Amino acid sequence: MTSVSDHTYKLTYFNIEGVAEKIRLAFVLAGINFEDDRINSEDWAALKPTTKYGQLPVLTIDGVEYSQSDAMLRMAGRCGDLIPTDPLEEMRMNEAIGISDDLDRALAPGLYYAIRPTAYGMPEGYNNTDEGKDHIRRCRVDFVTNKLPNFLDFFVAILKSTPGTCIGTRSHFPRSHS
Ligand SMILES: N[C@@H](CCC(=O)N[C@@H](CS)C(=O)NCC(=O)O)C(=O)O
């Protein structure tokens, strides 16, 4: 790939943070100009079948479409010199990303039972039943009471163990979750 500024970038995603915010932030940190293309759910129905995996985000570079948010994050990091060159520092960076992914997984049941119960083997409309509502409430209480405090402790420990930025002596990928 030639210089970052020789290319055009369009990041297409929903108008939420979700899995794209980390890429938006990495682009900003990397100094890469990009079109922040935010679509609404009405437009998504028509767009979905045209995407490679039926999912967003899609990153379009010079008219070519790429998928998978972590791939985009690492590309932005590589272009913006945000990835530590030292392999051990890079491993620490990936460790932090890994624990962030674990947080996503811990959050997911309380989110997806509510917005797409079929993704978790429940019938359509489960989220509107008394049983479903109680299930969602219990997942969320469990997340906030038991899981989130552990993750916050992990992140505090990571931040305390590093000077200033996050890993090593340089900035690294930001992670952001809705
Ligand atoms: N592993 C993929 C996951 C992408 C994903 O789950 N996208 C969701 C939004 S966060 C999506 O497109 N949902 C709409 C649908 O599946 O119809 C990534 O990180 O890019």
Indicate the residue among 30, 53, 79 that finishes a domain. 79
Task: Give the mean pLDDT of 134-155.
Answer: 97
25 CA distance to ligand 1 centroid (A)? Answer: 18
- Report the C-alpha gap between 116 and 123 in whole angstroms: 9
Within 6 A (CB) of ligand 1 lie 18-19, 48, 54-57, 68-70
55 CA distance to ligand 1 centroid (A)? Answer: 4
- pTM, rounded to two decimals: 0.85
Residue 101: domain span: 87-176
Q: Is the pLDDT of residue 175 over 90?
A: no
Indicate the residue among 26, 52, 79 that finishes a domain. 79
Tokens of 9: 């970038």
The CATH number assigned to the domain holding 23 equals 3.40.30.10
- Report the C-alpha gap between 1 and 95 in whole angstroms: 27
Please report which confidence band the pLDDT of residue 173 belongs to, taking 50, 70 and 90 as the band edges: low
